[in-house]
Amino acid sequence: MDISQKENYTDKFGDKRLDKRANQLSALLYFSRTSSIHEMTGTEAEQKGTYRFLANQKAEEDKLIDTAIEKSGYLCVDKDVLVLQDTSEFNLDNHRNRLKPGSGIGLTGNNKDLGFFLHGSLVLDAASETLLGYCNIQLWHREEDKLDKTERNYRELPIEEKESYKWIRACNESKQHLSGVRSITFIEDREGDIYQQFATVPDERTHLIIRSRDNRRLSDGSKLFDKLSHQKAAGQYEITIVKDIRKGVESRMATVEVRYCQVAISRPLALNKTELPQSVTLYAIEVKEVNAPSDSNAVCWRLLTTHSIITYEQAVSTVNKYRLRWYIEQLFRLLKKKGFRIESSELETGWAIRKLTVMILSAALRVMQLLLSYKKEDSQPVEQVFSAKEIHCLKRVNETLQGDTEKSKNTNNPDRLAWATWIIARLGGWKNYNSKRPPGPIILKTGLDRFANIYHGWKLAQSD
């Protein structure tokens, strides 16, 4: 089955009416401009039916999640895959007076505002970087009357009772779901730097690449960061730093030095009473910017991995895999203000908003597929993402966007997704200048929105 096939909810809820409504909502979201039920539905009956479906207790969140991750199980068979993990919070505090209390929402990261959390695991084919779907989705909220960390004696709690267990749970459940793969590499940011994860998750086909958060004690008595900094630089190369207004990062080309070594991280003292091993042997990599401007937020990444790193090329390859985390960050951005605007949903219960979020994840995947196909000659076939009728419409739109010069033409193979990405990006406002950045997820989302309107009108014209 193609990766593009919309989720099939038939026989998922034990109620043919619910199955039918779920499939209808999935189709609406696949080409939706928003998370607003009012905006995406065409009739009052369709709108009411969607509200009733999301409010129906039989339309369980877990069943929606099972359906959202279903495809990746067979698409990943006999492949080496990368799994990008991250967490995002959805702040619904602006709707505090409208949302019903005790309905799937609670406190967010600041322990004041209302909302919920989503921990997602996005699967890529390691060879082609093609998106294969999701392998794990977790949603939760913090209870408003929950005791603070001191009152709960948080440091003494087992990892299974802590929120940070989400990383280990995602790995273990993903390993089971992706049982047919050749290998899995989980890629995580600093929050995933958890000793229990290094000690329990890896096996003969499972690896980790995690950005180091702590200057860990090593079994030889030294500290991790010190040992890395004392290694001889293995080489230098240039990386592109993408502008990030939120973090105060300006776009630039940065020259970085790479160092690496084998290390044995020691079991934290707080875990001495557990059965975990006294140390875990890993490979550490440091990527540090050379002669960085004083106000540039200089690059300094330290990675821990179970992959063997004995050459400079292996170190750089591992760093490049870690940088793919950008895709899941962009996915979460797409779900929010400038994308599907989940935090602006007019639904009245957290449970309904959470269920809608799970279903929107599949629609957002289409945007990310376009993002990854930009200027890739070996991008996935276009029919895996667009239907035959949509492709026919895209061909007509493409004719109107072509210029007179070679630089203003869509020179991509029309059988490949990169060809459709060019069209969608141009509809989204991208100028196709070599001096400009490649189209980002918001540009592509805007382009899909506009194509949805064009396609709707085109179908009406075809029916005359």
Same domain, 246 and 330: yes
Say what the pLDDT of residue 145 is.
66
Residue 131 lies in a domain: yes
Task: Determine the structural domain holding residue 407 and report its residue range.
Answer: 374-463
Give the domain CATH number at 220.
3.90.350.10
Residue 292 lies in a domain: yes
Same domain, 95 and 222: yes
Same domain, 338 and 386: no
H or E element: which one contains 355?
A: helix 350-373
Q: How far is Cα 323 from Cα 237, in angstroms, rounded to an integer?
A: 15
Say what the pLDDT of residue 322 is.
97
Long-range contacts of 38-46 (CB under 8 A, 24+ apart): 38/346
Same domain, 171 and 255: yes
Same domain, 242 and 119: yes
Q: How far is Cα 44 from Cα 400, in angstroms, rounded to an integer?
A: 35
Residue 202 lies in a domain: yes
Q: Are 443 and 338 in contact (CB under 8 A)?
A: no
Tokens of 454: 């064009």
Say what the pLDDT of residue 292 is.
76
Say what the pLDDT of residue 222 is.
96
Same domain, 198 and 332: yes
Same domain, 339 and 392: no
Give the domain CATH number at 378.
1.10.740.10
Say what the pLDDT of residue 252 is.
81
Q: How far is Cα 193 from Cα 238, in angstroms, rounded to an integer?
A: 26
Say what the pLDDT of residue 428 is.
92
Residue 262 lies in a domain: yes
- pTM of the predicted structure, to 2 decimals: 0.89
DSSP structure class, residue 407: G
Same domain, 177 and 303: yes
Number of domains in the chain: 2
Same domain, 307 and 427: no
Q: How far is Cα 368 from Cα 448, in angstroms, rounded to an integer?
A: 12
Say what the pLDDT of residue 284 is.
98
Q: Mind listing the pLDDT tens digit of every residue in the chain (464 residues)?
A: 333 445 788 899 989 999 999 988 887 787 666 778 877 777 888 888 899 999 999 999 999 999 999 989 988 999 999 999 999 999 999 888 888 878 899 999 888 899 999 999 999 999 988 888 999 999 999 987 665 655 556 677 889 999 999 999 999 999 999 999 999 999 999 999 999 999 999 999 999 999 999 999 999 999 999 999 999 999 999 998 876 666 667 778 889 999 999 999 999 998 988 899 999 999 999 999 998 776 667 889 999 999 999 999 999 999 999 999 989 998 998 898 778 889 988 898 999 999 999 999 988 888 888 888 887 878 888 887 888 889 999 999 999 998 888 778 899 999 999 999 999 999 999 987 655 678 888 888 889 888 988 988 888 887 76
Q: Are 89 and 120 in contact (CB under 8 A)?
A: no
Q: How far is Cα 207 from Cα 185, in angstroms, rounded to an integer?
A: 5
Distances (CA, A) of 239 to 54, 120, 253, 288: 45, 27, 6, 11
Q: How far is Cα 61 from Cα 389, in angstroms, rounded to an integer?
A: 32
Say what the pLDDT of residue 176 is.
97
- The tens digit of pLDDT for each residue in 240-262 reads 887 666 666 777 888 999 999 99
Say what the pLDDT of residue 149 is.
59
Residue 49 lies in a domain: no
Q: Are 380 and 373 in contact (CB under 8 A)?
A: yes
Residue 14 lies in a domain: no
Tokens of 174: 């993903």
Tokens of 311: 């050459």
Tokens of 351: 């449970």
Say what the pLDDT of residue 350 is.
92
Say what the pLDDT of residue 5 is.
45
Q: Which residues pair with 410 in a beta bridge?
A: none
Residue 53 lies in a domain: no
Same domain, 321 and 382: no
Same domain, 412 and 308: no
- The tens digit of pLDDT for each residue in 127-171 reads 988 888 999 999 999 987 665 655 556 677 889 999 999 999 999
Say what the pLDDT of residue 248 is.
67
